[in-house]
Amino acid sequence: MRGLKLPLNQTQRIRLQRAFEKLQTLSAKANSDASVTVADSIQVNYDDAFLKGHGTTDLNGELVATVCGVVERVNKLVYVRGLRARYKPEVGDIVVGRIVEVAQKRWRLEINFTQDAVLMLSSMNMPDGIQRRRTALDELNMRSIFEENDVVCAEVRNFQHDGSLQLQARSQKYGKLEKGQLLMIDPYLVKKSKQHFHHLEQFGVDLILGRNGFIWVGEHVEVRDSMMIDQANSAEQSAVPEEKSPAYTSLEMRQHICRIANAIRVLSTLGFIMDADLIMQTVELSSSLNINIHDMLGSEFHVLVAEREAERRSLMSKRKR
């Protein structure tokens, strides 16, 4: 409960304390070497050669942690991945970012990294959907694709020699995100999985869990092939496309988006590593208890979510025995 800022009464504080103690006990039984704090011993096989990585040191012949985090092992390398830190990109990661600058043949995005990421015009799927060389006209019309403050989904492509991070958006599932909410949480709370794009059909909502801690919750958008329609004639006639009035988002849809977004905020406050299943379970809990969307951010619902998660993990632990 350290660092948790919630206006709890005495009863709620005791209940939340018990839930966290139960979760801590279950986590310790599951894997005592998973998370460490400063000066904790890290179990390694001293008979085999191993490499000391970031966050570790040799103290009196024993490998100990110098930072709080999770022990990671890559072949012979043993290191501690810090939790509360900026996002550390890996090639292939799905990220959500915000455009901060439209530069020459590129956009710069804020993705919670130590420096802005770069999305080149040549690495972007063009609006007409045709694979072709980028022209000077395309460069002039870059703001018609993305402009400052637009929210964009992309994939980590590679690192340049100067340390800059390059993105790509060569598929219809990437691109500009509209009609939704952008949430920012600690990157370590986003569980790495094979699928980071989720269509919540019962709500008609798209959920994108960015590995950089930026999460998008918005109205579902069908990936259509209509973008492949030949627009050569219209491109010649107008250098700047016509402005379209934003489509209306129904009240019910906005309520669904807000309920899912509040579920993510609650899980983030409690420090739970989240995936789509855990988020949906939290949403269903609020709906089954008829909790108002605004009341989801209250202290009582935080306690209920912690108690439910402790019970769920306890049942899972019993089934594995």
Give yes or no: residues 207 and 304 share one domain.
yes
**DSSP character for 60?**
T
pLDDT, tens digit (0-9, with 9 covering 90-100), for 153-189: 999 999 888 778 999 998 888 999 999 999 999 998 9
| Separation of alpha carbons 259 and 262, rounded Å | 5
pLDDT, tens digit (0-9, with 9 covering 90-100), for 264-315: 999 999 989 899 999 999 999 999 999 999 999 999 999 999 999 999 988 8
Closest CA to 205 of 174, 181, 229, 239: 181
- Confidence at residue 228, expressed as pLDDT on a 0 to 100 scale: 38
Give yes or no: residues 189 and 303 share one domain.
yes
pTM comes to: 0.81
Q: Is the dihedral of CA 141, 145, 151, 154 positive or negative?
A: negative
pLDDT, tens digit (0-9, with 9 covering 90-100), for 57-100: 988 888 888 888 888 888 888 888 777 777 888 899 999 999 99
**Domain annotation covers residue 124:** yes
Give yes or no: residues 270 and 282 share one domain.
yes
Among 41, 66, 83, residue at a domain's last position: 83
Reported confidence tier of residue 321, pLDDT bands at 50, 70, 90: low
Mean pLDDT, rounded, of the chain: 85
251 Cβ neighbours under 8 A, 6+ residues apart: none
Checking DSSP bridges between strand 165-169 and strand 117-124, what pairing results, if any?
parallel
- Confidence at residue 101, expressed as pLDDT on a 0 to 100 scale: 95
The answer to whether the CB of 24 falls within 8 A of the CB of 49 is no
| Separation of alpha carbons 259 and 293, rounded Å | 6
Give yes or no: residues 292 and 193 share one domain.
yes
Residue 184, strand partner residues: 214
Closest CA to 166 of 208, 248, 111: 111
Give yes or no: residues 95 and 166 share one domain.
yes
Closest CA to 186 of 277, 269, 289: 269
Give yes or no: residues 197 and 313 share one domain.
yes
Give yes or no: residues 147 and 72 share one domain.
no
Give yes or no: residues 201 and 107 share one domain.
no
| Separation of alpha carbons 93 and 111, rounded Å | 12
Give yes or no: residues 212 and 284 share one domain.
yes
Element (H, E) at 59: strand 56-59
| Separation of alpha carbons 33 and 248, rounded Å | 51
Find the domain containing 114 and state its range: 85-177
For residue 226, pLDDT over 60 is answered with no
**Domain annotation covers residue 89:** yes
**Domain annotation covers residue 11:** no
**Tally of domains within the chain:** 3
**Side-chain half-sphere exposure of 132, counting CA atoms within 13 A:** 13
| Separation of alpha carbons 127 and 229, rounded Å | 10
pLDDT, tens digit (0-9, with 9 covering 90-100), for 129-143: 667 788 888 889 899
**Domain annotation covers residue 93:** yes
Give yes or no: residues 51 and 96 share one domain.
no
Give yes or no: residues 114 and 207 share one domain.
no
The answer to whether the CB of 299 falls within 8 A of the CB of 6 is yes
Give yes or no: residues 192 and 313 share one domain.
yes
